[in-house]
Amino acid sequence: MSTDAQRWVAGHIASLPKSGIRDFFELVAKMKGQDVISLGVGEPDFVTPWHVREAAIYALERGKTYYTSNLGMIELRREVSTYVERHFGVTYRPEDQVIVTVGVSEALDLAFRAFCNPGDKVMFHQPCYVSYHPSISLVHGAGIAVPTFAQDNFALTAAALRAAWQPGAKILMLNLPCNPTGGTCTRGQLEEIAAFCREKDLLVLSDEIYSELTFEGIHTSIASLPGMAERTIFLHGFSKAFAMTGWRIGYACGPAPLIDAMMKVHQYAMMCASIIAQEGALEALKHGWDNVVRMREQYHRRRNLIVRRLNESGLSCHLPRGSFYAFPDITATGLSEQDFSVGLLQQQKVAVVPGLAFGVNGRGHVRACFATASDQVMEACDRIDRFVQGLRK
């Protein structure tokens, strides 16, 4: 009999590639203690505001340590409903159209498991967050990557969608503003995408986790467009705007039968999100807006700074309208994104993430997160400049 433990691993997991970020993480981890400035993170540099932490501590003191309703605490669902209506212009009933999840990541997994039959086709724009394509593979779905381009500021266009569309496509996954590109769509562009979804009868999963971090104009949710709420699952959470990544808390809103389907998976797989995280989230929604605005102002300044400096160094970089990522084109250096990232790390001790980690359309780019203190961003830009000028010699 074989002694290889690998034989127990399911086939579709064995063939699932590891995240490209993982390799790079190992490389950076080896340089511990060497004054590395990391622009490689995907989370705020702010600690969760104290009033939120204090509310969670208070909840613990009062003995809030039990399960909640599968859908999440009704008080939190009411606040979510109010918040989404006020900020996104879509109304969801807290009783049956909102589910609280362990971050948007879980919400996404629930959605794929609830809506995707084996072989169903799921369209997603790329470059994109590292988990989208693997999550589709995990439910035996077939991913269709739709490219977005620097010349469009990485906005998704209906034309690109139409070109990539295949018969049998069932779901469109959106992430606007986008990790890693910072790309967003104008209302006009979204209306064209919405029309396409109605024409092709697509269900939309819209991950809007970066929506509060929109620097120019107003964020529009596709769910708010006419005829879209009934075919959209709105996914959101607290990690980015409220600086609550480690709490793992998010939510999904949508038509009651679809939320009910997601709830079936959730109740068997997860039961409920952590009650302490739910208490923190409740406090964040009730009293956290001032901090969201304060942090956004900081990100806005850092964005202007890093984009200007990268362009001055000869790395062509579009101005991301949202998120906290710059996604410069590094092809002018003559290096691949992998060689650029490794060289920059080893020679100048700045960590960025090679664009290929976000899909083949990320080639020629790197992701630089500017959720780092301004003086660190400036120092990182100085080092990047030295690295790029060094290549020219």
175, two tokens: 């992430």
| Residue 240 binding another protein, by CB under 8 A | no
Q: Closest distance between another protein and the C-beta of residue 43, in Å?
A: 6
| Residue 29 binding another protein, by CB under 8 A | yes
List the interface residues with another protein, window 271-300 (CB under 8 A): 297-298
Please identify, using beta-carbon distances, which residue of 105 and 232 lies nearer to another protein: 105
Please identify, using beta-carbon distances, which residue of 44 and 254 lies nearer to another protein: 44
193, two tokens: 């995408």
| Residue 375 binding another protein, by CB under 8 A | yes
- Binds another protein (CB under 8 A): choice among 88, 112, 129, 238: 129
Q: What is the greatest pairwise CA distance in the chain?
A: 65
| Residue 347 binding another protein, by CB under 8 A | no
Please identify, using beta-carbon distances, which residue of 113 and 302 lies nearer to another protein: 302
CB 145 within 8 A of CB 164: yes
Q: Closest distance between another protein and the C-beta of residue 354, in Å?
A: 11
Q: Which residue stretch of 145-153, 194-202, 326-334, 373-381 sits at the interface with another protein (rule: CB under 8 A)?
A: 373-381
| Residue 308 binding another protein, by CB under 8 A | yes
234 phi and psi angles, rounded to 5 deg: -90, 120
List the interface residues with another protein, window 176-205 (CB under 8 A): 179
SS3 152: helix
| Residue 304 binding another protein, by CB under 8 A | yes
- Binds another protein (CB under 8 A): choice among 9, 12, 13, 25: 25
- Binds another protein (CB under 8 A): choice among 195, 265, 342, 378: 378
Q: Closest distance between another protein and the C-beta of residue 60, in Å?
A: 19
Whole-angstrom distance, CA of residue 295 vs CA of residue 314:
29
CB 253 within 8 A of CB 97: yes
Binding marks (x or -) toward another protein, 30..69, rule CB under 8 A? ------x-x-xxxx-x-x----------------------
Q: Closest distance between another protein and the C-beta of residue 160, in Å?
A: 24
Q: Closest distance between another protein and the C-beta of residue 301, in Å?
A: 5
Whole-angstrom distance, CA of residue 157 vs CA of residue 132:
19
Neighbours of 181 (CB within 10 A): 32
The distance of Cα 71 from the centroid of its chain, to the nearest Å, equals 22
Report CA torsion sign: 55, 374, 245, 216: positive
Please identify, using beta-carbon distances, which residue of 145 and 261 lies nearer to another protein: 145
Give the interface size with another protein as a residue count (CB under 8 A). Answer: 32
| Residue 353 binding another protein, by CB under 8 A | yes
- Binds another protein (CB under 8 A): choice among 21, 57, 145, 195: 21
- CB under 8 Å to 20, separation ≥6 — which residues? 130, 354, 356, 357, 358
- CB under 8 Å to 47, separation ≥6 — which residues? 53, 243
| Residue 18 binding another protein, by CB under 8 A | no
Residue 18 buriedness (CB in 10 A; 0-12 / 13-18 / 19+):
exposed
CB 202 within 8 A of CB 169: yes
Which amino acid appears at position 4 of this protein?
D
Q: Which residue stretch of 7-15, 149-157, 264-272, 305-313 sits at the interface with another protein (rule: CB under 8 A)?
A: 305-313
Residue 343 buriedness (CB in 10 A; 0-12 / 13-18 / 19+):
middle
Candidates 245, 158, 210, 238; CA nearest to 320 is 210
Residues that bind another protein (CB under 8 A): 19, 21, 24-25, 28-29, 36, 38, 40-43, 45, 47, 129-131, 179, 297-298, 301-302, 304-305, 308-309, 351, 353, 373-375, 378
